[in-house]
Amino acid sequence: MWSVPESTSDRVDWPVSDPPPWPASVRATLWWHRSTPAARELGPDDRTIPVTVAMMVDYLDSPVGPYREILASPVLHAPGKRIGPMPRMVVPFIAVDSEPSVHGGRFHWQLPKVLAEFDGDVQQKFTATGDGWRVRSDTRMLGPRLPIAGALGFAQPESGGGLAVASARLTGSFRYARVSVEAEGPTLPNWLASGTHHGAVILGGKMTTGAAKHR
């Protein structure tokens, strides 16, 4: 499973989770910035878009109950025959505070989930802390409340050389935001840039993550 040190675990005995689709009610903050040279080195071998995307998510309910999450994608897959018509995240770093969610990420979508602790509100000041790493976010919402309807896609490398391609469809509302970020860890500061970035706050929404297709 492709991951960075902050998202690596030797543990394999996770509580089994239900297969997708996974419907959930969510609140979240996401941000993006131009990818650093280190981020571009982490990207896949095919065409990529040099944008790093990260998010803090509060799952109010889900098939494994409520949990919180941080994830980051160093670059985006460019649209193409293997992944379809939209850019997709490639995620080497993702952490949650739910053991069944770790199982779901690893076994259903090839997402390298590990356990972490979280403190605060994902839409305001929030901290994610794991084994040797920490990410802090401080969010300032700006602008009006607007509707949102769309999808977030990801394409995860598989051991045999293929990709696990899936999408999470979201409806709800959002506001533009500026997100101040501090990242600590063995590799995160090299590609998840500290500083203040453009972002968006998902004020509330319904999201459904579908099953992965193997390509």
- Token reading at 195: 């500083």
Q: Provide the pLDDT for residue 51.
A: 98
Gap between the Cα atoms of 132 and 77, Å rounded: 28
Q: First-to-last CA distance in the chain?
A: 16
For the CA atoms of the chain, what is the radius of gyration? 16
Q: Provide the pLDDT for residue 14.
A: 97
Q: Which residues contact 154 (CB under 8 A, 6 or more apart)?
A: 73, 88, 89, 90, 91, 109, 111, 165, 166, 167
- Amino acid letter, residue 203: L
Mean pLDDT, the chain, integer: 96
What is the mean pLDDT of the segment spanning 116-140?
98
State whether residue 69 is helix, strand or coil: strand
pTM of the model as a whole: 0.96
Gap between the Cα atoms of 114 and 124, Å rounded: 23
* Position 65 pLDDT exceeds 80: yes
Q: Provide the pLDDT for residue 1.
A: 73
| Residues 79-115 pLDDT 10s | 988 888 899 999 999 999 999 999 999 999 999 999 9
Q: Provide the pLDDT for residue 61.
A: 98
* Position 42 pLDDT exceeds 80: yes
Contact 45, 158 (CB under 8 A): no
Q: Provide the pLDDT for residue 70.
A: 98
What CA dihedral angle connects 169, 173, 175 and 178, to 10 degrees? Answer: -30
- Amino acid letter, residue 91: V
Contact 161, 212 (CB under 8 A): no
What is the mean pLDDT of the segment spanning 20-36?
98
| Residues 159-171 pLDDT 10s | 888 899 999 999 9
Q: Provide the pLDDT for residue 166.
A: 97
Q: Provide the pLDDT for residue 140.
A: 98
Question: How far is CA 63 from its chain centroid?
Answer: 18
Q: What are phi and psi of 105, to 5 degrees?
A: -60, -45
Rounded to 5°, angle at Cα 197 from 34 and 55: 90
Q: Provide the pLDDT for residue 161.
A: 82
Choose among 118, 123, 91: nearest CA to 200: 123
What is the mean pLDDT of the segment spanning 192-214?
97
| Residues 145-202 pLDDT 10s | 999 999 999 999 998 888 999 999 999 999 999 999 999 999 999 999 999 999 999 9
Q: Provide the pLDDT for residue 44.
A: 84
